Amino acid sequence: MPLRKIIIDTDPGQDDAVAILLALASPDEIEVLGITAVAGNVPLALTQKNARMVCELAGRPDMRVFAGCDAPLRRKLITAEHVHGKTGLDGPTLPDPTMPLCDGHAVDFLVDTLRTEPAGSVTLCALGPLTNIATALQKAPDIAPRIAQIVLMGGAYFEVGNITPTAEFNIYVDPEAAEQVFACGAPLTVMPLDVTHKALVTAERNAAIRALGTPAGLAVAQMTDFFERFDREKYGSDGAPLHDPCVTAWLIRPDLFAGRHINVEIETASDLTLGMTVADWWRVSGRAPNATFMGDLDADGFFALLTERLGRL
């Protein structure tokens, strides 16, 4: 498999952290050009700090981490401390980062990198609200055709909403940004709740991660111990859903996933359904497909991959 160059746009978040660790543990498949933090699960001051803490946990204090947008394009920031805790990375006790935050805005890093790297060679992996990416597209429309792919965690169809009855958090926080990203023309692969709710860290799976006996393995086990209580209480889930690691796992093992190439539009007008991903799963709208929308996952294969790769850190 050729090496894939990626930028991870993220709002860590325990599940973001696991996605980042998986990417950094897979240098034969993935070259992380940089990490761009966005406000989402917790405010930007924490997401950029958490991103650096995760890089140091992975033994990568050299990684370039940039701070991006601290609020959605047009709306007030909504955060998710009720899920992720007040730090955004509750669970393990990780040391404050010593690696520096890079100078410059994350949006400029996105634009400059996409303009500098060969066209079609950089994949954007979006794990949070799409504010940074939408802002980059607004600032530099010329980057859209240069993006190889956008692989994002967001949305839902059969699973409907996790922050409102109809909307998933990443899309709901900045629906106008999502609308722009889904319309930008770059090839989209979407990991909605329909598939991420099948990536449950059961007690057995978490025990296998903890049994790695490494700082990263222990930290991930402690993150999911904390992170799972929201979904257990709400859905009766048998463990935490690892939403964002579906994005980086897909880069390594796309065969673990199944979905459909369909039309997906974003609700931005109705207060009742704001942020809903209107996924034409049954292809009844006649609207042109714009996204590969995942619906199924080989969960055992996913966790075997994740555990093996975490064991490399």
* Residues designated catalytic: 243
Build a one-symbol-per-residue string for 50-79: x at contacts with ligand RIB by CB under 6 A, - elsewhere. Answer: ------------------------------
168 touches, from Ca ion, ligand RIB, none (C-beta below 5 to 8 Å by class): ligand RIB
Q: What is the dihedral of CA 35, 36, 37, 39, to 10 degrees?
A: -150
* Calpha distance 226→54 (Å, rounded): 16
227 touches, from ligand RIB, Ca ion, none (C-beta below 5 to 8 Å by class): none
Instruction: Please give the size of the binding site for ligand RIB, defined by CB under 6 A.
Output: 15
Closest CB to ligand RIB among 87 and 121? Answer: 87
Q: Are 245 and 230 in contact (CB under 8 A)?
A: no
* Calpha distance 47→256 (Å, rounded): 29
Q: Which of 132, 135, 136, 181 is nearest to 154 (CA)?
A: 181
Q: Which two tokens stand for residue 110?
A: 């996105």
Residues 6+ apart with CB under 8 A from 301: 253, 256
Outline where DSSP puts E strands in 219-276. 240-241, 257-262, 264-266
State residue 238 phi and psi, 5-degree precision: -90, 55
Establish if 128 lies at the interface with Ca ion (CB under 5 A).
Answer: yes
Amino acid at 113: T
Tell me which residues in 100-129 interact with ligand RIB (CB under 6 A). Answer: 127-128
Establish if 194 lies at the interface with ligand RIB (CB under 6 A).
Answer: no
Establish if 16 lies at the interface with Ca ion (CB under 5 A).
Answer: yes
DSSP state of 188: E
Establish if 225 lies at the interface with ligand RIB (CB under 6 A).
Answer: no
Establish if 189 lies at the interface with ligand RIB (CB under 6 A).
Answer: no
* Calpha distance 37→126 (Å, rounded): 10
Establish if 244 lies at the interface with ligand RIB (CB under 6 A).
Answer: yes
Q: Which of 4, 8, 9, 11 binds ligand RIB (CB under 6 A)?
A: 11
Q: Which of 79, 170, 263, 277 binds ligand RIB (CB under 6 A)?
A: 170
162 touches, from ligand RIB, Ca ion, none (C-beta below 5 to 8 Å by class): ligand RIB
Q: Which of 51, 127, 150, 240 binds Ca ion (CB under 5 A)?
A: 127
- Long-range contacts of the stretch 282-287 (C-beta < 8 A, 24+): 287/263
Establish if 130 lies at the interface with ligand RIB (CB under 6 A).
Answer: no
Only one residue has tokens 């909403």, namely 161
Report, in Å, the least distance between residue 281 CB and Ca ion.
Answer: 23
Report, in Å, the least distance between residue 20 CB and Ca ion.
Answer: 10
Q: Which of 163, 186, 185, 187 is nearest to 175 (CA)?
A: 163
Establish if 9 lies at the interface with Ca ion (CB under 5 A).
Answer: no
Q: Which of 4, 6, 40, 249 binds ligand RIB (CB under 6 A)?
A: 40
State residue 86 phi and psi, 5-degree precision: -70, -25
Establish if 153 lies at the interface with ligand RIB (CB under 6 A).
Answer: yes
Closest CB to Ca ion among 11 and 265? Answer: 11
- How big is the chain by its Cα radius of gyration, in Å? 18
Residues contributing to the site for Ca ion (CB under 5 A): 11, 13, 16, 127-128, 244
Residues contributing to the site for ligand RIB (CB under 6 A): 11, 13, 15-16, 40-41, 127-128, 153, 162, 168-170, 243-244
